């Protein structure tokens, strides 16, 4: 497969929006003309210096980029093996990597003359980022969020409302992230003329997976330069957590053709990847199918019906994964593993205790894998992990799982 | 010639517009769904659209979403949907059946196997919402080669430049979606639909059937009047969901069919 791409892993997608067999444009006809015009506008923007000048300015002055690359010295000592660096994307404005992409899409929406922005959100981080950038530009913003997530992520719901967004609790289906995405697509199909759909991850119909990857690639580009400055070479291993996979794709992409760099994606293993499907590990426990505009690995039953994921982390709670990850998995360029809720919670605590950083539950999954492999690796092995979000939003969930009594924060605990 | 083509020839010779009804396979349960389906031709339905339940019907409004959920909760599957068609075919070999749904359950079975099974069960055409012309190689072309019609949706956003691409591999009929939106939402307006149908008919000889937003016999008559026929889905599904008996639902279907046929 790599030969088809002239030995580069960075040439995808093809003109049909495919990475190997994955990706594509599986949408209804009503949306098809919009997706084609989005592709055209994005292709124009990509080579337009004024677009990137605007992005760079806002990345620097609004988001706070570049995010630091931080040597986690005490964690390294504690684990006693590989040298661990954290790419600090949790320090971005709004507390996660999500805003890197939102900024790009909203600037594009403005260029396309769209006045209304819609988004889906799971944990609420993408919703908050979208509401934030919409507030900054004075755009109307509607965020679809599963009713179940509205309950367990109350602080983010309030944030979005403070920022002027309308948050629509989604009760269709089972009221989770995938249902929120269905309802966002239903809104889009109804309001095609003035509305731009700001997708939060590297999934959906082409050009979204490639476009979101390109916007998030700032993570990997910076990490590469910063690692060169710190160590004079590439890291040996790069690691990121994966729900849909945007922070991971952002870190991985600039390293895809550096053959000596190991790439590891960490999926949410929930209660364990078993026949009960109480997890969100699409690559580890799913198989290829078509949902939300793309072909990719999905959690599904024998009849091709989509299953609900399960994870302690609302941000990883999605039954699919970006199509480029499915392709990297099949061609073997990246390795994908699963981490359970329990392991993620242990990593969460280790990070708090050793580094004074409260991580989000999503990157805690990546960190849990670092904890597994670092002790067995030599001291000159360099790991770079993407700390893609901070954990303020998760403290209630974590408190509940650790048995802390936070009853004075009624209604904010999970379930 | 498929049963769909034969039906349009008959309607043409009778000078009548087509009435197409939609129902979800297995909703509210397998037995009721089959008995309603069997009653549709006598109620005046010319073509039956049978919904294949899917967990994530992104082009459907809540009425059809919930119907799909009920069917799935009752254990409906692709195989049982085909069984329903087989049972229907045991005493009706003329009424066309169009299977309408989303791609994943079909992809999951394997396209080649699905086409063999669908043809054998007695399905005449397919409407797969999430397969635009850009993905024709997936199912559309193999289906045409297997002798099934592949019915494409044209929408208000399908402009003149794009229309030939949409019509290119369409067969049986063209399904014009009257609104930008989901099923069961805004009401279709004959004044908006008429020029759109004319625009499509300027580029194809296929019949143009209009669906989405048609709920009453009057609107069915109006819309069928400016096209070759119309589809009613959510309004029928809602009747079933309200707990009405099969006979009551079929009487409602008959009023809709009469509306369309009087156009």
Which value does ipTM take for this structure?
0.96
Query: B79-101: string of b/e by CB count within 10 Å (b at 16+)?
Result: ebbbbbbebbbeebeebbbbbbb
Q: Give the confidence band of B80 by pLDDT, cuts at 50, 70, 90.
A: very high
Our CA-based measurement puts residue B104 at a distance from the nearest CA of chain A, in whole angstroms, of 5
Confidence at residue A6, expressed as pLDDT on a 0 to 100 scale: 60
Rounded Cα distance between B63 and B71, Å, is 13
- Tokens 């700032």 correspond to A218
Can you count the helices (H) and strands (E) in chain B? 12, 9
CB contact under 8 A, B157 and A30: yes
Q: Is the residue at B46 inside a domain?
A: yes
Confirm or reject contact between A175 and chain B (CB < 8 A).
Answer: no
Mutate to test the interface with B, among A30, A194, A287, A307 (most CBs of B within 10 A): A30
- Asked whether the CA dihedral A339, A327, A144, B76 is positive or negative, the reply is negative
Confidence at residue A123, expressed as pLDDT on a 0 to 100 scale: 84
Our CA-based measurement puts residue A165 at a distance from the nearest CA of chain B, in whole angstroms, of 22
CB contact under 8 A, A26 and B135: yes
Confidence at residue A413, expressed as pLDDT on a 0 to 100 scale: 43
Q: Is the residue at B224 inside a domain?
A: yes
CB contact under 8 A, A304 and B152: no
Q: Is the residue at B183 inside a domain?
A: yes
**Cβ-based contacts under 8 A for chains A and B:** 118
Q: Is the residue at B219 inside a domain?
A: yes
Q: Is the residue at B262 inside a domain?
A: no
Q: Which residues does B146 contact at the CB level (< 8 Å), separation at least 6?
A: B115, B116, B119
Tens-digit pLDDT profile for residues B86-120 = 999 999 999 999 999 999 999 999 999 999 999 99
Confirm or reject contact between A27 and chain B (CB < 8 A).
Answer: yes
Confidence at residue A3, expressed as pLDDT on a 0 to 100 scale: 47
Closest residue, chain B, to A177 (C-alpha)? B56
Closest residue, chain A, to B77 (C-alpha)? A303
Our CA-based measurement puts residue B207 at a distance from the nearest CA of chain A, in whole angstroms, of 19
For residue B248, the enclosing domain spans: 3-257
Confidence at residue A383, expressed as pLDDT on a 0 to 100 scale: 98
Give B152's DSSP letter.
P
Rounded Cα distance between A101 and A218, Å, is 10
Confidence at residue B187, expressed as pLDDT on a 0 to 100 scale: 85
Q: How far is CA A355 from the centre of its chain?
A: 23
Confidence at residue A409, expressed as pLDDT on a 0 to 100 scale: 52
Successive 10-residue mean pLDDT values, chain A, 415 residues:
66 96 96 95 96 97 98 98 98 97 98 97 94 98 94 90 98 88 94 95 98 98 98 98 96 97 96 80 94 97 92 86 98 97 97 97 97 98 97 90 74 44
Closest residue, chain B, to A28 (C-alpha)? B130
Q: Is the residue at B127 inside a domain?
A: yes
Q: What is the CATH number of the domain that holds B166?
A: 3.20.20.70
Confirm or reject contact between A32 and chain B (CB < 8 A).
Answer: yes
Confirm or reject contact between A171 and chain B (CB < 8 A).
Answer: no
Taking CB atoms and an 8 Å cutoff, what residues of chain B touch A193? 180
β-pairing, A287-291 vs B47-51, is: unpaired
Our CA-based measurement puts residue B14 at a distance from the nearest CA of chain A, in whole angstroms, of 32
Confirm or reject contact between A15 and chain B (CB < 8 A).
Answer: no
Look at residues A308, A201, A199, A312 and name the one whose alpha carbon lies nearest to residue A248.
A201
Strand residue runs (E) in A42-179: 69-71, 83-87, 116-121, 140-146, 166-170
Look at residues A35, A34, A31, A9 and name the one whose alpha carbon lies nearest to residue A20.
A9
CB contact under 8 A, A29 and B57: no
Confidence at residue A1, expressed as pLDDT on a 0 to 100 scale: 45
Exposed / middle / buried, residue A313 (Cβ in 10 Å: 0-12, 13-18, 19+): buried
Confidence at residue A410, expressed as pLDDT on a 0 to 100 scale: 52
Cα A136-A139-A140 angle, rounded to 5 deg: 130
Q: Is the residue at B263 inside a domain?
A: no
Enter the pTM of the model: 0.95
The total domain count for chain B is 1
Look at residues A241, A212, A196, A98 and name the one whose alpha carbon lies nearest to residue A156.
A98
Q: Give the confidence band of B188 by pLDDT, cuts at 50, 70, 90.
A: confident
CB contact under 8 A, B135 and A186: no
Mean pLDDT, rounded, of chain B? 96
Confirm or reject contact between A164 and chain B (CB < 8 A).
Answer: no
Q: Is the residue at B71 inside a domain?
A: yes
Cis peptide before A66 (omega within 30 of 0): yes
Reduced DSSP (H G I as helix, E B as strand, rest coil) percent helix, strand, coil of chain A, to 5: 45, 20, 35
Confidence at residue A7, expressed as pLDDT on a 0 to 100 scale: 76
- Tokens 């699905």 correspond to B114
Kindly list the catalytic residues of B: 49, 60
């Amino acid at each position: 497969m790599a030969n088809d791409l002239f030995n580069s892993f960075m040439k995808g997608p093809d003109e049909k929006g495919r990475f190997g067999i994955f990706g594509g444009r599986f949408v209804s006809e009503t949306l098809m003309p919009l997706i084609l015009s989005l592709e055209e506008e994005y292709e124009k923007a990509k080579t337009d210096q004024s677009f990137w000048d605007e992005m760079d300015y806002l990345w620097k002055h609004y988001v706070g980029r570049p995010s630091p690359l931080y040597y986690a010295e005490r964690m390294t000592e504690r684990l006693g093996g590989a040298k661990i660096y954290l790419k600090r994307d949790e320090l971005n404005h709004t507390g996660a990597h999500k805003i890197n992409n939102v900024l790009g899409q909203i600037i594009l929406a403005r260029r396309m003359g769209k006045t209304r922005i819609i988004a889906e959100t799971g944990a609420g981080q993408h919703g908050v980022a979208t509401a934030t950038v919409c507030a900054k530009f004075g755009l109307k913003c509607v965020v679809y969020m599963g009713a179940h997530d509205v309950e367990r992520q109350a602080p983010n719901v309030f944030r979005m409302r403070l920022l002027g967004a309308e948050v629509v609790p989604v009760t269709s289906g089972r009221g989770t992230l995938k249902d929120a995405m269905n309802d966002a697509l239903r809104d889009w199909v109804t309001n095609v003329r003035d509305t731009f759909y700001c997708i939060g991850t590297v999934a959906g119909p082409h050009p979204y997976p490639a476009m979101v990857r390109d916007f998030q690639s700032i993570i990997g580009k910076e990490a590469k330069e910063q690692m060169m400055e710190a160590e004079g070479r590439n890291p040996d291993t790069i690691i990121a957590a994966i729900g849909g996979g945007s922070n991971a794709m952002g870190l991985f992409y600039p390293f895809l053709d550096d053959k000596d760099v190991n790439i590891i994606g960490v999926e949410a293993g929930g209660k364990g990847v078993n026949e009960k499907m109480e997890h969100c590990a699409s690559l580890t426990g799913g198989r290829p199918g078509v949902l939300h505009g793309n072909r990719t690995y999905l959690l599904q039953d024998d009849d091709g019906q989509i299953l609900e994921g399960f994870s302690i982390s609302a941000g990883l709670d999605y039954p699919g994964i970006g199509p480029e990850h499915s392709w990297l998995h099949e061609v073997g360029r990246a390795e994908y593993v699963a981490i359970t809720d329990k392991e993620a919670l242990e990593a969460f605590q280790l990070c708090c205790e050793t580094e004074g950083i409260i991580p989000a539950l999503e990157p805690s999954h990546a960190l849990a894998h670092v904890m597994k492999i670092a002790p067995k690796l030599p001291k000159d092995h360099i790991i770079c992990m993407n700390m893609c979000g901070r954990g303020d939003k998760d403290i209630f969930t974590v408190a509940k799982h650790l048995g802390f009594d936070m009853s004075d924060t009624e209604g904010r605990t999970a379930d | 010639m498929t049963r769909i083509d034969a039906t349009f020839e008959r309607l043409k010779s009778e000078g009548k517009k087509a009435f197409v009804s939609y129902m979800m396979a297995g909703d509210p349960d397998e037995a009721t769904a089959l008995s309603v389906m069997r009653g549709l031709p006598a109620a005046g339905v010319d073509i039956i659209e049978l919904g294949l339940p899917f967990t994530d019907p992104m082009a459907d409004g809540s009425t059809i979403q919930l119907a799909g959920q009920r069917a799935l909760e009752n254990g409906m599957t692709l195989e049982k949907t085909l069984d329903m068609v087989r049972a229907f075919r045991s005493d009706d070999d003329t009424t066309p059946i169009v299977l309408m749904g989303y791609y994943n359950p079909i992809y999951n079975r394997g396209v080649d196997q699905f086409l063999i099974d669908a043809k054998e069960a007695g399905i005449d055409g397919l409407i797969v919402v999430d397969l635009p012309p850009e993905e024709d190689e997936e199912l559309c072309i193999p289906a045409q080669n297997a002798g099934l019609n592949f019915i494409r949706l044209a929408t208000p956003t399908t402009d003149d430049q794009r229309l030939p691409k949409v019509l290119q591999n369409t067969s049986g009929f063209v399904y014009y979606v009257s609104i930008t939106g989901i099923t069961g939402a805004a009401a279709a307006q004959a004044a908006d639909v008429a020029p759109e149908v004319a625009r499509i008919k300027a580029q194809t000889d296929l019949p143009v059937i209009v669906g989405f937003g048609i709920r009453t016999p009057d609107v069915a008559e109006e819309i069928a009047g400016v096209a070759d026929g119309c589809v009613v889905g959510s309004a029928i599904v809602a009747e079933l969901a309200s707990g009405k008996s099969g006979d009551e639902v079929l009487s409602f279907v008959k009023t809709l069919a009469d509306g369309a046929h009087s156009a």
